Structure 1
């Protein structure tokens, strides 16, 4: 008698794309899900994710970068279950034809209503908003689309800071690479944090970023200014948060006088050195808290000992205690 192996049903993920879509909005998450399947294979387990790309016309669809992908039509996918449905984003000129497509306007609500979860990457949320699928919900999108989205759809709560937002079965992410962060969170939810971490390592990511992290990190804000003389100093600060980071020492590292250092630092980053360092320390603390470290250990690692000092600074900045924050966000 032949032994039959049991293979659990695969979780089918369908991405909606259209001419001019942002390629990384799709290829980034797809790489995450495929890497999760690979991680399962290394554990002698069957793949969990099956991935489809759909479009109104089907066939080859060219992204904004000029690279084309093969897609199926809505009709070809009509009889297959969709577990996760996501819409890729694009610049406004490529979104306008999508919003005016009657076939898409009929198909998207039907699929979103049947899916276990649905959502978007980047400005793809505008399609959902146009169809009334996110009314009364909280969403994320690319920083450049936040104001137009909020103005055009006042019933939608737009979170301009978070990398991604989950609101029930609705998952939305901010710009481009944050689709990778959201996909990793989905893997952690569907499979395990261990597999999500392994995928992040496989993709050589700097870190698994939680949804509450801002679209603009302190380091990125400084690096945006090409003339900033502080990029190297800031990288050093972030690697030495447990060290005394006083103005005389930092000014000495840059070769400026204390007054000149303070003035140029504010011009480059938009924050005083003290505010910047506290922000960097508290951002790092949020990650460490969610990884299960004791508050005493977190305080020491980010240079805010003793724990009482750390707790006061954390609650002053975020409005909740470190302990409550851990309960709210859990392990990432």
Structure 2
């Protein structure tokens, strides 16, 4: 039986509390699900003692000096206020301890904007990483040797794991649990935490439906919702224009201006986005094509490869 492992979460004044409590809850639930203490979770800070989050909630922490770097299996830096992140990165003992720990840890990474501190310490060079959408530009500018991918919820690149904003830390840690203890335990944790769905890392930080609805007013926001729920219908310009009582030419122009994509392109976006979720299930490409409104599996495959650069089969293999 595998011994328990030490999971370290590094906190600081101004941190985002869910970046700490989300992962901690996942690992605690995993212990319950497997019936033993597999994860020993340590909440650390530079000096130890109470640490104030940016939401008026304080937590008690242990000083980094009390946990030897060689004992840490997984280290995660969390996000929070910009001033708190700057202070954390500028604290010499923190830098020394993090560099010593990441040199020997089995894996390390960040939740949300904690990636900025990893980058400040030179730990992201040559790595494909992600962060909260609001920190993407800063991470890219400050780390030109990193490959910042803002199209993912979380990314694993070798020993480096990074996640997008806040709740995506839960998704990433569930993936760690699955890697360590198997899919049955990860599913049990998801159920225990009453998660609506386990989200794969390749899922975008932005739902195309929510993004489109945020940009568009009536009547297009309601139309987008209907389109999402009727992907197998004939979603051509005459049909869509009729639903909002417009001429075809006027609809095409106004929809494109409101959504940022032509009607045809946006229909394909919705269908391909849904197909990525269906690829996680054991469905044939023919069945996925039928469920997403493509006339044939060949048409679906061609559109998928054109948009994502890989075939649906390879995509499924990469993200099993």
TM-score (norm 2): 0.91
Are 1:39 and 2:33 counterparts? Answer: yes
Deviates more, 1:191-200 or 1:284-293: 191-200
Deviates more, 1:79-88 or 1:60-69: 79-88
With over 3 angstroms needed to count, the CA separation of the structure-2 counterparts of 1:69 and 1:38, relative to structure 1, is same
Residue of 168, 183, 192 corresponding to 1:193: 183
Structure 1 residue aligned with 2:285: 295
With over 3 angstroms needed to count, the CA separation of the structure-2 counterparts of 1:194 and 1:239, relative to structure 1, is farther
Structure 1 CA distance for aligned equivalents of residues 69 and 169 of structure 2: 27
Residue of 142, 146, 159 corresponding to 2:149: 159
How big is the shift at 1:79?
A: 7.3
On the 8 A contact 2:14/2:84 being kept in 1, the answer is yes
On the 8 A contact 1:222/1:228 being kept in 2, the answer is no
Q: Is there any run of 5+ residues in structure 1 with no aligned partner, and where? A: 1-6
On the 8 A contact 1:296/1:305 being kept in 2, the answer is no
Structure 2 CA distance for aligned equivalents of residues 79 and 122 of structure 1: 23
Q: Alignment RMSD, CA only? A: 2.1
Aligned to 1:83, the other structure's residue is in SS state strand
Structure 2 CA distance for aligned equivalents of residues 279 and 169 of structure 1: 32
Structure 2 CA distance for aligned equivalents of residues 10 and 154 of structure 1: 37
Provide, for residues 284-305 of structure 1, a one-character-per-residue CA deviation record: whole Å limited to 9, x for no partner: 1122113232111111111113
Structure 2 residue aligned with 1:325: 315
On the 8 A contact 2:70/2:105 being kept in 1, the answer is no
Structure 2 residue aligned with 1:96: 86
On the 8 A contact 1:228/1:268 being kept in 2, the answer is no
Structure 1 CA distance for aligned equivalents of residues 29 and 246 of structure 2: 47
1:3-152 → structure 2 map (5 Å cutoff): 8-40=2-34, 45-78=35-68, 81-152=71-142
Aligned to 2:9, the other structure's residue is in SS state strand
Structure 2 CA distance for aligned equivalents of residues 19 and 120 of structure 1: 16
Count of residues in correspondence between the two structures: 320
TM-score (norm 1): 0.88
Structure 2 residue aligned with 1:4: none
Aligned to 1:276, the other structure's residue is in SS state helix
Structure 2 residue aligned with 1:247: 237
How big is the shift at 1:232?
A: 3.7
Structure 2 CA distance for aligned equivalents of residues 195 and 229 of structure 1: 44
With over 3 angstroms needed to count, the CA separation of the structure-2 counterparts of 1:297 and 1:194, relative to structure 1, is farther
How big is the shift at 1:259?
A: 4.3
Q: Is there any run of 5+ residues in structure 2 with no aligned partner, and where? A: none
Structure 1 CA distance for aligned equivalents of residues 193 and 230 of structure 2: 26
Aligned to 2:72, the other structure's residue is in SS state coil
Deviates more, 1:174-183 or 1:73-82: 73-82
With over 3 angstroms needed to count, the CA separation of the structure-2 counterparts of 1:194 and 1:18, relative to structure 1, is same
Aligned to 1:54, the other structure's residue is in SS state strand
Structure 2 CA distance for aligned equivalents of residues 240 and 23 of structure 1: 39
With over 3 angstroms needed to count, the CA separation of the structure-2 counterparts of 1:153 and 1:241, relative to structure 1, is same
Structure 2 CA distance for aligned equivalents of residues 79 and 144 of structure 1: 31
Structure 1 residue aligned with 2:203: 213
With over 3 angstroms needed to count, the CA separation of the structure-2 counterparts of 1:63 and 1:232, relative to structure 1, is same
Provide, for residues 174-220 of structure 1, a one-character-per-residue CA deviation record: whole Å limited to 9, x for no partner: 12222122112112212222332333344343432221222222112
1:271-310 → structure 2 map (5 Å cutoff): 271-310=261-300
On the 8 A contact 1:86/1:121 being kept in 2, the answer is yes
Aligned to 2:210, the other structure's residue is in SS state helix
Structure 2 CA distance for aligned equivalents of residues 156 and 274 of structure 1: 34
How big is the shift at 1:255?
A: 4.6
